[in-house]
Amino acid sequence: MGTIYRGGSRGALAGLRRPHLHPVPSVADRLNAERHELAGAACTAADPEVFFDGTQDATDVAKRICGGCPVRARCLWLALEHGEAFGIFGGLTADERRRLRRKGVSAA
Ligand code: SF4
């Protein structure tokens, strides 16, 4: 089965907007590639699956990695800007980002 990729090219994380359209390895590969564009990203050598797994153990691992990341603010900004609905970005889960947005926090 070929890779289904329908993401736009608006920004660094644009391809992650509808990850349910991607086979999981492709999402992970793309996530890894996009995150590498953030120079100095702490997740460069991490398994990208932990950022999408959704289990508590994986979430804890991902958050620990993000916690020491020098580009965390930029990563979170990109996720908010692009309305990323899945995965952990900038140390926050999708639910945590939604709560931020409900409080009026945005990338703008
Ligand atoms: S904040 Fe987390 S997901 Fe974002 S670049 Fe840093 S380590 Fe990767």
Q: What's the pLDDT tens digit per position in 80-104?
A: 888 888 899 999 999 999 999 998 8
Claim: this prediction has a pTM higher than 0.85: no
Quickly tell me which residue has 């020098």 as its tokens: 70
In a domain, residue 86? The reply is yes
Element of type H or E holding 36:
helix 24-36
In a domain, residue 9? The reply is no
Domain range for 53: 14-102
Write down the pLDDT at residue 23. 37
Give 88 Cα–ligand 1 centroid separation in angstroms. Answer: 8
Give 70 Cα–ligand 1 centroid separation in angstroms. Answer: 8
More confident of the two residues 24 and 91: 91
In a domain, residue 108? The reply is no
Q: What is the band of 72 on the pLDDT scale with cuts at 50, 70, 90?
A: very high
Which atom of ligand 1 lies at the shortest distance from residue 62's CA? Answer: 2
Give 14 Cα–ligand 1 centroid separation in angstroms. Answer: 16
> Does residue 91 have its Cβ closer than 6 Å to ligand 1?
yes
